[in-house]
Structure 1
Amino acid sequence: MGVLNDLKPQIVFKYFEELCSIPHGSGHMELIGDYCVAFAKEHNLEHYRDNLSNVIIVKEASKGYENSPAVIIQGHLDMVCEKTAERDIDFLKDSLELGIDGDQIYANGTTLGGDNGIAVAMALAILASDDIEHPRLEAVFTVDEETGLYGAEAIDVSMLTAKKLINLDSEEEGIITVSCAGGVTAECILPIEREKVEGTQVKILITGLIGGHSGMEIDKERGNSNMLMGRLLYSLNKELTLNIVNIAGGQADNAIPRETVLNIVVADKDLSKLETLIKEYQSIISNEYKTSDPKVVVKVENLGKAKAEALNKESVKKTILMLLNIPNGIQSMSADIKGLVETSLNMGVLKVLEDGVHAIFSVRSSVETAKAAVCDKLTALMEFLSGKVQFAGAYPGWEFMKDSELRETVIRVYEKQYGKKPAIEAIHAGLECGFFSEKINGLDCVSFGPNMTGVHTVEERLSISSVERTWKLLLEILKESK
């Protein structure tokens, strides 16, 4: 018996729980694609699937809506896979373990994938139903949104007829999104040289940070464990000989990293000094982040005597210079829209590979030239350090449409259901509407969704009551789309 069986709307939560039972982390879309195709065949629906596992399912209009303009319902199939250190799960094989806490659905020790599984579940629920009034529906499920909107970039939309698109990838009820930032993934690579060292190996862990979505939560000024480790490295290197064996922090470029691990080898005579410096740094960051990240902690573990390959002195120097000076976080706020972050970047992943130190960023901006300027900063710094930057997954922003029939319908239906007008906003996060607007001339888009918190973190929660209200809103919008 399913954990969500007794929740309403039952059909939506039925499909959401089925989706949670199928591994669907970014980059591993085959199984979830198989599920969508099997669903379409079961319900005798026209469907398409490309080699990336993007899936389109078409349902013809219900009685009385045969002459109504078609509507696209769109969401993405992939989820960000984050877990606690204690949680034993293989995201390539295992189902999520769902739980209910009051009005909230969560996953035990992992991200939930409400972003964007709840959108897919709502679309499937409509496609499966025989008693919902709607025009021709074109459900579009994209892959690898979380790693760069690759599915939306590649998908063939030639079979689509609709000029209206409802994206269900927003996370705050009561807000209708009408514009978003564009972005790109930047991977900075710093070449390194290694040397053999001996001493005591020590593991240092910065953990306890809240993290979050690098677009939606970048304005919360939460600590980035990778950047904090860079500061610590500088402090340690001033006082003792630092032999860096490895650094590893973060799991996705678009998630603010919660923890970073550093492995170093130090001389025995420096162990006491190291512990003192760590305590001092703990005091510093506990004070600086007492509001945004009150549980941040620096942990130290002595791993014993060791012989290891470590970065040589020049590579250590360049690594620290890079981490101290590379831009991160908010770069500018919009002068046109109060409270909107215009340009930012997030070092979501930091790791040492055979060819060097890799720092992977999600760069975002609602102004294309400002995004390019940030990329130029990264390039200039890395060239100075004899490194390089590789850019991938660039996606366009979604421009505000002055005259939008769909937006006016959503506002009218929302006001009737809630007794007040919704907020109309632009967001700093990326949405796939930008790619679809490029592909379909004159496309009219809106984005909305139920309340979700802690997205891209193990604290992710999905509001049950908000899902029900959003479901009713969606059905009424379709009903009025004659």
Structure 2
Amino acid sequence: MTILEGLKPQRVMYYFEEMSKIPRCSYDEQRISDYLSNVGKALGLEVIQDKALNIIIRKPAYKGYENSPTVILQGHMDMVGEKTDSSNHDFSKDPIKLEVEGDYIIAKETTLGADNGIAVAMALAILESKDIPHPPLEVLITSNEESGMTGAAALDPENITGKILINIDSEEEGKILVSCAGGERNLITIPVEWNETLDDEDIYEIVVSGLKGGHSGMEIDKGRGNSNKIMGRVLERLNRSIDINLYHIEGGSKSNAIPRYAKAVISMEKANIEKANLSIKEIEKELRFELLSVDKDIELSFTKTKDKKDRAFSKETTKKIISFLMLFPNGVYTMSMDIEGLVESSNNLGVVKTTDDSVTMESAIRSSVGSLKTYIADQIRLLAENLGAEWESTSSYPAWEYSRESYIRDIFKDVYKEIYNKDINIDAIHAGLECGLFKEKFVNMDMVSFGPNIYGVHAPGEKLSISSTERSYNLLSKVLEKIH
């Protein structure tokens, strides 16, 4: 017996569980791409698997729908791999451990992969179905959406014939999205100068933990703590009053996830240990007060380690790293004046890493206004130039701008009203959807985005509503039936 056996829609749940067995984090997608290709071929359908591992599966129209416009059902195959500090899950080989709690499918110690596995599962179930009336279909499942949308960027327009696209990468039932933010990934590389260590100094680890994290678009307005920024604050406070040596710093794992954990390794004269300990307790108290409503479980630990280090960052390198962490733009930048409650632009300092010769910092900029995206990137670039670091824009994707007229939007509105006797919400999102890239490639493409309720996206404990999935699948089936 499978974990999701008996849940409805049965074939959607079947495919979702099957995909959960296949490791599929960004850049590790050969296995899931091959699986999807094999499913399409087993169904006797035309399949294209391109060099970027994107999958396109074509299904002819239901009888009587041959003259209807071709509809693209679209989602992405990769997922964000985040886990709790205590988890030993290996995303390169372990299946996601699914559990059912009431109305939810949940992965307690890791991300669930409902973003965007549920879209793929819905599309596969419709491809398999024999009793859902529909126009000609092209199921487009892209690769590497979570780390730069490179699959969508590499998509050959010649492989797509449809002019209507339904993106199933939204996470709130009862609304359809008609616009999204564009984005850009920035990489800062700080060259490291090394000094020999002092034998008479003890070495300590500072750890920031207990934060909720989350999606850097969907949750950026929640005011949650960013572990990398917090670590910068801790180090600045210590370095201001105590002569510290910094050996190592790390935090976060994905630029598009609000980081939950950060660690720094430092040393200092033994006479300053008690002062450092008191400072960290003072900062922890301040942070718990500041974050009481959003991240009350934050913890700062200060622990002596037996590890010995042969070298530490120079004082100049340490100063640069702390300056970057303190001055790096982070969080909500501007709010929209046109759509109430919509974040217009933001930045997330998602990843800090130490290598043999550098410290790198990765961030994800989002904005529904292209000039603001450029403005934030320019600020980061100038910060790098003034602090003697290298700046690079590693990827960029456009915003999806609102269209005044939309046939598929009207279909969704009519069908939702017919089913629930109320209006569906029309909204925009402060997150990157591949719709922006598709709109750039296919100027006249008519698009909407929708999906079931998913909570805690990009963080351990992510969960998917079972009843919402069933309703969303039924809505999609009815919408396809109306495109006639």
Normalising by the smaller structure, the TM-score range is: over 0.9
For 2:340 and 2:192, the matched residues in 1 are separated by 43
Change (3 A) 1:221 1:344: same
Which of 286, 289, 294 aligns to 1:287? It is 289
Partner SS, residue 432 of structure 2: coil
Q: What are the equivalent positions in structure 2 for 1:38-437 lying under 5 Å apart?
A: 38-198=38-198, 199-304=201-306, 306-437=308-439
For 2:243 and 2:45, the matched residues in 1 are separated by 66
The CA RMSD measured in Å over matched residues stands at: 1.0
Q: Which residue identity is paired with 1:338?
A: E
1:446 alignment counterpart: 448
Can you list the C-alpha shifts for 1:144-170, whole angstroms capped at 9, x where unaligned? 100111110111131322110000000
Contact between 1:96 and 1:108, CA under 8 Å: does it hold in 2?
A: no
1:13 alignment counterpart: 13
For 1:374 and 1:433, the matched residues in 2 are separated by 22
For 2:291 and 2:276, the matched residues in 1 are separated by 22
Residue 120 of structure 1, CA deviation = 0.1
Query: Does 2:33 correspond to 1:33?
Result: yes
Give the gaps of 5 or more residues in structure 1: none
Partner SS, residue 346 of structure 1: strand
Residue 441 of structure 1, CA deviation = 3.1
Q: TM-score normalised to the size of structure 2? A: 0.98
Contact between 1:253 and 1:348, CA under 8 Å: does it hold in 2?
A: yes
Of stretches 98-107 and 298-307 in structure 1, the one that deviates more from structure 2 is 298-307
For 2:413 and 2:229, the matched residues in 1 are separated by 42
Q: Which residue identity is paired with 1:145?
A: E
Can you list the C-alpha shifts for 1:46-92, whole angstroms capped at 9, x where unaligned? 01011221100000001111111110000000000001121112111
Q: TM-score normalised to the size of structure 1? A: 0.99
Residue 355 of structure 1, CA deviation = 3.0
Of stretches 54-63 and 318-327 in structure 1, the one that deviates more from structure 2 is 318-327
Can you list the C-alpha shifts for 1:257-302, whole angstroms capped at 9, x where unaligned? 0110111122222221121111111101011100110100111221
Contact between 1:265 and 1:306, CA under 8 Å: does it hold in 2?
A: no
For 2:238 and 2:91, the matched residues in 1 are separated by 36
Identity of aligned pairs, percent?
A: 46
Q: Which residue identity is paired with 2:135?
A: P
Can you list the C-alpha shifts for 1:5-32, whole angstroms capped at 9, x where unaligned? 1110011000000000000000111000
Partner SS, residue 158 of structure 2: coil
Give the gaps of 5 or more residues in structure 2: none
For 2:478 and 2:399, the matched residues in 1 are separated by 28
Contact between 2:328 and 2:349, CA under 8 Å: does it hold in 1?
A: no
Partner SS, residue 172 of structure 1: coil
Partner SS, residue 83 of structure 1: coil
Q: Which residue identity is paired with 2:286?
A: I
Aligned residue pairs total: 482
Contact between 1:29 and 1:52, CA under 8 Å: does it hold in 2?
A: no
Partner SS, residue 85 of structure 1: coil
Partner SS, residue 218 of structure 2: coil
Q: Which residue identity is paired with 1:414?
A: Y
Can you list the C-alpha shifts for 1:217-267, whole angstroms capped at 9, x where unaligned? 111111100000000000010121111111110010000001101111222
Residue 305 of structure 1, CA deviation = 6.5
Partner SS, residue 69 of structure 2: coil
Give the ranges of 4+ consecutive aligned residues of structure 1 lying more than 6 Å apart after TM superposition. Answer: none
Contact between 1:166 and 1:447, CA under 8 Å: does it hold in 2?
A: yes
Contact between 2:8 and 2:470, CA under 8 Å: does it hold in 1?
A: yes
